[in-house]
Amino acid sequence: MAQGSAKNRKPAAGTRAGGKQAGRKRLPRSRYNAAEIAEIFSRFRALRPEPRGELYHTNPYTLVVAVALSAQATDEGVNRATKHLFALADTPEKMLALGEEKVRDQIKTIGLFRNKAKNVIALSRKLIEDFGGMVPRTRDEMVTLPGVGRKTANVVMSMAFGIPTMAVDTHILRLGNRLGLAPGKTPDEVEAILMRIIPDEFLYHAHHWLILHGRYTCKARRPECEACIIADLCKSKEKTCDVPAPIVALPQQQLPGME
């Protein structure tokens, strides 16, 4: 496939994909002012200068498949299955040749695997028929692929093509509301607020910083406020500590097959 690997992509200059929505309707306000928001993201950057998504993939096509498979499943569980699947098929042509039954066998440890196997085959076929076997670069085109919604398209646009987007998953939806950073009722509202308030210099990595903060520190059941580097800035009613943890830059994430 002529398209490059998702890793080491640089952000496209000045593009705010999805920012359009913010102007259409009145959105709830963030509880943080511009200086506080800049400080929060400066600390996230100091902790993880080059954050990566944790889904295993080898090119834009396998990234689309991996993100589509990750709905209601953990990245870890998806990676276990896709390591073998992508060794057999890392292009739409090879996936079609593999066939739905074998795809289903490879991903049967992932929730909703029957439906997802159907979608993987259908989206591979559509990529070949309508896009010359290449993953399209726009959200409007990407969401025409079976099993690909706005969130998947945002992840792929950011990780594969370097276009800053905000793919709101369960962690970002929770953080936006718990902290009052982006208090939206729906993922689309949270996305629009974040796209509006995050300064350009942080926007490309903001999605991964927020996901990783939600996954490892500001966890769903019990946030680990003693280990939180923004505990002094956080305005959540749920926080249990006001003293920020020291910022010690973490080593680069080592992901399966992405070393």
- Tell me which residues are annotated as active site: 151, 169
User: Are the CB atoms for 226 and 245 separated by under 8 Å?
Assistant: yes
Among the listed residues 232, 211, 229, 253, the one whose alpha carbon sits nearest the alpha carbon of residue 47: 229
The one among 179, 197, 210, 211 contacting ligand SF4 by CB under 6 A: 179
DSSP per residue, 46-88 = HH-SS----S--SSHHHHHHHHHHTTTS-HHHHHHHHHHHHHH
Is residue 239 involved in binding ligand SF4 (CB under 6 A)?
A: yes
CA distance 104 to 116: 8
Per-residue burial over 53-79, b if 16 or more Cβ lie within 10 Å, else e, is bbbbbbbbbbbbbbbbbbbebebeebb
From candidates 6, 211, 225, 258, binder to ligand SF4 by CB under 6 A: 225
152: which 2 tokens? 């998947």
Q: Residue type for 11, please? A: P
Position 231 contacts ligand SF4 (CB under 6 A): yes
Query: Tokens 């943080």 — which residue?
Result: 32
User: Which one, 33 or 144, has the nearer CB to ligand SF4?
Assistant: 33
**Does position 58 bind ligand SF4 by CB under 6 A?**
no
**How far apart are the C-alpha atoms of 257 and 259, rounded to whole Å?**
6
Q: Is 238 in the site for ligand SF4 (CB under 6 A)?
A: yes
Distance CA 96, CA 120 (A): 9
Rounded to the nearest whole angstrom, what is the least distance from the CB of residue 43 to ligand SF4 in the complex? Answer: 11
Cβ distance to ligand SF4 smaller for residue 48 or 116:
48
Examine residue 194 and tell whether it contacts ligand SF4 (CB under 6 A).
no
Q: Which of residues 120, 230, 248, 254 is near ligand SF4 by CB under 6 A?
A: 230
Q: Is the dihedral of CA 41, 47, 49, 51 positive or negative?
A: negative
Rule CB under 6 A: say whether 176 interacts with ligand SF4: no
Does residue 152 touch ligand SF4 according to CB under 6 A?
A: no
Q: How many residues form the binding site for ligand SF4 (CB under 6 A)?
A: 14
Q: Which is nearer to ligand SF4, 57 or 178 (CB)?
A: 178
**Binding to ligand SF4 by residue 159, rule CB under 6 A?**
no
Q: Which of 228, 249, 250, 259 binds ligand SF4 (CB under 6 A)?
A: 228
Nearer to ligand SF4 by Cβ, of 179 and 258: the residue is 179
Using the contact rule CB under 6 A, the part of the chain among 1-9, 56-64, 78-86, 230-238 near ligand SF4 is 230-238
Burial of 234 (0-12, 13-18, 19+ CB in 10 A): buried
Provide the residue type at 72 as one letter: Q
Can you tell me which of 11, 236, 243, 249 binds ligand SF4, judged by CB under 6 A? Answer: 236
The C-alpha torsion from 258 through 135 and 214 to 109, rounded to 10°, is: -70
Residue 37 makes contact with ligand SF4 by CB under 6 A? no
Name residues contacting ligand SF4, limited to 90-129 (CB under 6 A). Answer: none
Give contact residues for ligand SF4 (rule: CB under 6 A).
178-179, 217-218, 223-225, 228, 230-231, 234, 236, 238-239
